Amino acid sequence: MDAPLDAPLDAATPVVSAFYDRFPYPGDPLQDGPPPGYNWRWCVDSVVAAVDGALPPPSRPWRILDAGCGTGVSTDYLCHLNPGAAVLAVDISAGALAVARERTARSGAAEQVAELRLEQRSLLDLAGEGPFDYINSVGVLHHLDQPELGLRALVPLLRPGGLLHLFLYADAGRWEIHRTQRALALMGVGTGPAGLRLGRELFATLPETNRLRRHHEQRWTLDTAADANFADMYLHPQETSYDLERLFRFVDQPGLGFAGFSNPEVWDPARLLTGELLERALALPPRQQWALVESLDPDISHFEFFLRRQDSDDAPFAPQEPWSDEALLAAGGERNRCLWGWPSTALLGPDLRPLTITAEELALMEALEAAPAGTPIAALPMALGSEQRLVAVRRLLAERVLLLLRA
């Protein structure tokens, strides 16, 4: 049953809801059967393993909230990648939810989980729900009039130790987008069909050498092919963006800790620097390394990251210590379900990039899958010796094919 939105708790709610009724977002096509490909950020096992370095013991029926589900693309993946979970998906737009219901019905999402609820509700008005192990709120809080109220509303819905995945706009990589938005607003094109028509006409009219046109054509043409996606980028009536310093001020709240970026490769100075410059960069504390990357790469258009609900006396998040050889051999493990083409030595990995594993690595994973849950890697019935197993396990971990289980 949809809850009424008679008294929205955020000033932007009616305007944003009406906008998404006109342009249900995201505009991904509907399909019969499971959604195409995988995204490990929607697989709670993969997320917990990435943040903590290992999974808790088996039998973990996750409780998941999709806070701002739009047309149900994320909800669809959350159901298919977390079988047996209980999933609540909410959005303020009736139009977007209608698409979400059709999407999840056609894909068979509800058949994958213990419970699936899709409800027209504000994420600001979910008191009494939860507690959730995982909250996905991607591209949502920055469309609130007061994003900090959205964050404060979500944190109490997490169980202690639960994880929240957020995606917020970044100032630098949206420089051209912001100017296009302001130009369209100055011309009064509106946020409806006329704005869509005139927005597309703007990019066709500007000189080919114009920076805004070049930026759009080189970077965003494919992403905005669907009308709803174009409107979301250039016509949205309410949007906030951040730089790194403001981002960390935003998430600095009691009972909440930063648990790492969900695109850590973007924040690695090694993708931009070499030699002595890289050595100097890697000598910096993490926050300064990230600030350096932000300064060097003005194309970063968003921040995506995990937050953890924690008690005040919990230690702050820190990168996991490397596993010792003895601990690796004593650990159990599971296959990351975010692999396209399994079982094979030629795969698409959790980030949908080509990945090749060896025959020995494939054999180890197949032995792990055939063994009782929690079987130590050292006890798997196969011909590989300890040293060979360690080599295979460390590479499988690095490629995120293998998720370890804590004893």
Domain ranges of the chain: 13-171+243-309, 172-234, 325-405
Q: Contact 326/178 with Cβ under 8 angstroms?
A: no
Predicted pLDDT at 59: 64
Contact 140, 68 (CB under 8 A): yes
**Average pLDDT of the residues in 381-403:** 95
What was the pLDDT predicted at 3? Answer: 45
Q: Is the pLDDT of residue 317 over 60?
A: no
CATH superfamily, with its number, for domain 13-171+243-309: Vaccinia Virus protein VP39 (3.40.50.150)
Q: How confident is the model at residue 175 (pLDDT cuts 50, 70, 90)?
A: very high
Q: How confident is the model at residue 57 (pLDDT cuts 50, 70, 90)?
A: confident
Share of the chain above pLDDT 70, in %: 95
Cα angle vertex 114, ends 112, 119, to 5°? Answer: 95
Q: Is 60 exceeded by the pLDDT of residue 318?
A: no
7: confidence class by pLDDT, cuts 50, 70, 90? very low
pLDDT in tens, 116-145: 999 999 999 999 998 999 999 999 999 999
0.85 exceeded by pTM = yes
For the residues of 153-198, what is the DSSP string, one character each?
Answer: HHGGGEEEEEEEEEEEEESGGGHHHHHHHHHHHHTT--SSHHHHHH
Higher pLDDT, 320 or 50: 50
User: Which pLDDT score is estimated for 352?
Assistant: 87
Question: What pLDDT, in 10s, does the model give residues 336-383?
Answer: 999 999 999 999 999 889 999 999 999 999 999 999 988 999 999 999
The Cα 241–Cα 209 span in angstroms is 27
Is residue 79 within 8 A of residue 86, CB to CB? The reply is no
CA distance 398 to 102: 38
The confidence score (pLDDT) of residue 330 equals 94
Confidence of residue 246 (pLDDT cuts 50, 70, 90): very high
pLDDT score, position 61 = 87
How far is the C-alpha of 241 from the C-alpha of 235, rounded, in Å? 15
pLDDT band at residue 237, thresholds of 50, 70 and 90?
very high
Burial of 90 (0-12, 13-18, 19+ CB in 10 A): buried
Place of tokens 């047996």: 84
Structure tokens at 275: 């030699």
Q: 216 falls in which pLDDT band (50, 70, 90)?
A: very high
Q: Which residue has the higher pLDDT, 322 or 350?
A: 350
pLDDT of 263 > 80? The answer is: yes
Mean of the per-residue pLDDT values for the chain?
A: 93
Stretch 218-237: mean pLDDT: 97
Residue 312 has pLDDT above 80, yes or no: no
Distances (CA, A) of 28 to 103, 120, 172, 223: 10, 20, 26, 10
End-to-end Cα separation, the chain, in angstroms: 42
Q: Using 50, 70 and 90 to split pLDDT, how confident is the model at 8?
A: low
Looking at residue 36, its pLDDT comes to 85
Residues 17-44: pLDDT tens digits?
999 999 999 999 999 999 988 889 999 9
Residue pair 67/153 in contact by the 8 Å Cβ criterion: no
Predicted pLDDT of residue 11 = 77
